[in-house]
Amino acid sequence: MTESDGWVPEGVDITVPNAARIYDYALGGVHNFAVDREFWDNALQVFPNAGLVGRANRAFLGRAVRRLAQQGIRQFLDIGSGIPTVGNVHEMAQGVDPTARIMYVDIDPIAVEQSRSLLAGNPRARAVRGDLRDPESILFHPEVLDFLDFAEPVAVLMVAVLHFLPDSDDPGSIVKRVGDTLARGSHLVVSHAGPERTPESQAGLKAAIKLYEKTPTPVVMRTPEELAALVETGFELVPPGVVIANEWHPDPEEDEVPLQPTALVAVGRKP
């Protein structure tokens, strides 16, 4: 019996590290393979703050989802969701309103299959496979259209995913096409890899990014100004604009995480 027996779709190569499974391992999940764990351990060797960045990013996601649910958003479309185990969106949203609906989308078939297994007992949370580079295939996916009502506001989550899109994929156009499809009052929640503030930590970050070049999803680092421009192609930035994750409506009850400049975040609203 190998660790892949029974839960890997046919044809999936588990000898190559995968961003969704790497993140699952980084957050303490169990839906990952040795190659993913080895990759993350190597990333920590060159960039020790990587784990803190992941925690800050996940905490931001929780605050954003809860805040939007408290404001009346009842539909969430999580693109690039990975595997919804630790700190997942459906528990956070449904903790505010049990009627909230969450559609998870990921390009990795393993992440989708594992998501479906985990969500089997939750009729208000589903998962489909989709590629952000082709947003229409997600927005007009039959299961998505059957589950979400785009005549009503939707919160689209692109958390730690836009930095996997190079400029050649024209991520600004993708964000605009998503925004054009949504009703007024919809929101976009994003996080993105940004620059560090000291030469030493910047060197470590660049080394970690270099590791991602060995995976199918290399990382593109962008500045706060570049991230703001991406969001504003389809949405209006809401206060406090583009900030590091720790500074976005911090919750004094959360475990304190040192400031992580690498974790840039923002929320936009469709006027």
pLDDT tens string 9-48 = 555 677 888 888 888 888 888 878 899 999 899 999 988 8
Q: For 80, left (φ over 0), alpha (ψ -120 to 50), or beta?
A: left
Report the phi/psi class of residue 193: left, alpha or beta, with left for phi > 0 and alpha for psi in -120 to 50. Answer: beta
Q: At what angle do helices 224-231 and 171-181 cross, to 10 degrees?
A: 40
pLDDT mean across residues, the chain: 90
252 CB-near residues (< 8 Å, 6+ apart): none
Average pLDDT over residues 101-116: 91
Q: What is the pLDDT of residue 7?
A: 54
| Residue 185 · residue 270 · CB < 8 Å | yes
pLDDT at residue 2 in the model: 41
The pLDDT score that the predictor gives to residue 11 is: 57
The two three-digit tokens of residue 21, written as one number:
């499974």
